[in-house]
Structures are given as C-alpha cells and as structure tokens.
Structure 1
Amino acid sequence: MKCHNAKFSIGQVVRHRRYSFRGVVFDVDPVFDNTEEWWLSIPEEVRPRKDQPFYHLFAENDETEYVAYVSEQNLVPDTSDEPLRHPEIDEYFERDENGILRERDPILH
C-alpha cells in the first residue's frame, strides 16, 4: 500500500465532510490501521479507501463526545472558531498565544 503525506496535523480542528461532527486530531495513521470488521461495517457506497491517512479525533456532535477514526477523504478543516468541549482535549493539548492547540509535554500526561 502506498503511504501518503497527511493533509491534517495533530492539534488541527476538522469537520466531517458528510456527517455532523467535528473534532481535534490527536493521532494520524499514514494508511488504514483498524480492523477489517470495522472497515466492512461501513456501507460499501461510502466506504473509504484504505490507502490514505486516517485520523484519530477527539470528536463531538450536538449530543455527545467520543473518539472517532476518520479517513482523510471525509475531513475538511473547521474554520468556525467554535470551542470544542471534548473532556480529553485539555489533557492532551494547550492553546498557545494565538489560540492554536499544541500537544502538551507527553511526560506530563
């Protein structure tokens, strides 16, 4: 499988292209790295390609917060500047003087 450069970076806020949720990237897999059952559970007509980056997100929608695993083809940058409420964000990230999310020192968490 060919490895692609990731379009989004750790700490970047993104939105799902099709579904109503958004989140912050906390890890990136250069290609699909989840179970075959997970991949096959996605309806074939919207199933993403495996040969692209996949992102681990602290995600949220109007009702709840959760961790999501999303293909690059299904994400777009979120430019809303709306705050995120996922409880794990503050554990892994801090905002710099420009409001950008930066990873906290890994030794501290």
Structure 2
Amino acid sequence: MQKRSTKIVETRFGIGQVVKHRLFPFRGVVFDIDPEFDNTDEWYEAIPEDVRPAKEQPYYHLLAENDDTEYVAYVSEQNLLLDDSGKPVRHPQVEEIFDWNSENRSYTTRDNFGH
C-alpha cells in the first residue's frame, strides 16, 4: 500500500462560491479545487506565455458561463475574483450539485450529491 502525502493548502475561494475571471468575461460556481495545477502540459502550454499563471497555486473547477454559453472552466486562483452580483449561475449542471439559497444569494452542496 502506497502512502499518499497530505498537503494542506489554504484557498481564497471555496466550493459553492460564485467567482469571476479577472481578465476574461466569464463567471462560475466552484465545484472542485486542486491544491496545485493538475491538468495536462498541453493545456498549460496553450496559454499564452505572457498571461500563463504559475502552477504552484490552487486551481478551481468551475461550472462557468459567459454571455453566449455554459461550460466547465479550470482557472488559477490568481485569475479569480469574488463575483458579488448575487445572481445564480445558469449552467445546467448546477442543480445536480448545489442548492441555491435566494435569501443569502449563495450555493450549498446538495445533501445527496455523490450518493
């Protein structure tokens, strides 16, 4: 049995928070977090070098949207800001994972998610 080291990383955002990209016009809800970059080298190298983020930081999986479409995004912490619009995300998979609290204008993980 192989031991797996546990690395505790502080993150700026949490599961269920709505965030927006600081450079590009999209927003989304966080559904997973990697403590550091965990995607392909090909994906990473496709980012223009002048805006390529460091690998040694948290990366967030988002159910994202822009004016035209919904998709899944993978974004470095340095490129995210809190979205304070108070509006729910329209991505079609949001309701599979989260419940929207209209009073608090925030998401909570559904009780039955993952079961």
Q: If the length of structure 1 is used for normalisation, what is the TM-score?
A: 0.91
Question: Does residue 99 in structure 1 map to residue 105 in structure 2?
Answer: yes
Counterpart of 2:42, as a letter, is E
Distance 1:26 1:95 in 2: 14
Q: Structure 1: state its 5+ residue gaps.
A: none
Q: Aligned match of 2:18 in 4, 9, 13?
A: 13
Quick one: structure 1 residues 37 and 107, their matched pair in 2 at CA, closer, same or farther if it must change by over 3 Å?
closer
Q: Which runs of 4+ in 1 moved over 6 A?
A: none
Counterpart of 1:45, as a letter, is D
Q: If the length of structure 2 is used for normalisation, what is the TM-score?
A: 0.87
Q: Which moved more, 1:86-95 or 1:54-63?
A: 86-95
Distance 1:44 1:107 in 2: 37
Task: Point out the structure with max Rg over C-alpha.
Answer: 2
Deviation digits for residues 55-86 of structure 1 (CA, Å, limit 9, x no counterpart): 00000000000000000000000001123210
Identity, % of aligned positions: 60
